Amino acid sequence: MRLLRPDSGFTLIEIIAVIVILAIVLTPFSILVVNVMRQNIYSQALATATSLTEEEMERVTNLRFSAVTNEAAVSFSVPFSVYTHQVIVDYVNANALNTPVAGPTDYKRVQIRVNSSISGTITLTTLVANDW
């Protein structure tokens, strides 16, 4: 009499079942990983844009009152060349700081805008006074 020994290994159906189960389990996990990576990229771009906006504001506010003028949108240097910055300056009166006026006054409202395709536009606004 011959002894029957069980076959070792997996059948094709068992392998296919494992692959289907893994696909069902790993698909949501992979979507989660992609979304987390996308959010991290956005957060990093937003933090970089905010930092660049603050640095640009510091540069402009350290200028003499007469040198604070409009600047067209230009790109930062490498490695931040995907970001552009623009300076928008309006004269304002002391009693209406958010309303631009035509003539020269002792106050300028300065807006710094930093833009990138990832983070969008970050705007920082301040007031500069003529200190004579």
Q: Which residues pair with 127 in a beta bridge?
A: 109
Summarize pLDDT for 29-52 with one digit per residue, the tens. 999 999 999 999 999 999 999 999
In a domain, residue 106? The reply is yes
In a domain, residue 1? The reply is no
In a domain, residue 2? The reply is no
Mean pLDDT (the chain, rounded): 92
In a domain, residue 4? The reply is no
Is there a contact between 107 and 91 (Cβ–Cβ < 8 Å)? yes
In a domain, residue 125? The reply is yes
Summarize pLDDT for 94-117 with one digit per residue, the tens. 888 889 999 899 999 999 999 999
Nearest Cα to Cα of residue 122 among 112, 108, 132: 112
Alpha-carbon gap, residue 110 to 123, rounded angstroms: 10
Summarize pLDDT for 38-90 with one digit per residue, the tens. 999 999 999 999 999 999 999 999 999 999 999 999 999 999 999 999 999 99
In a domain, residue 25? The reply is yes
Q: Which residues pair with 124 in a beta bridge?
A: 112
In a domain, residue 66? The reply is yes
Question: What is the total count of domains within the chain?
Answer: 1
Inter-CA distances, 113 with 10, 42, 56, 120, Å: 63, 18, 9, 10
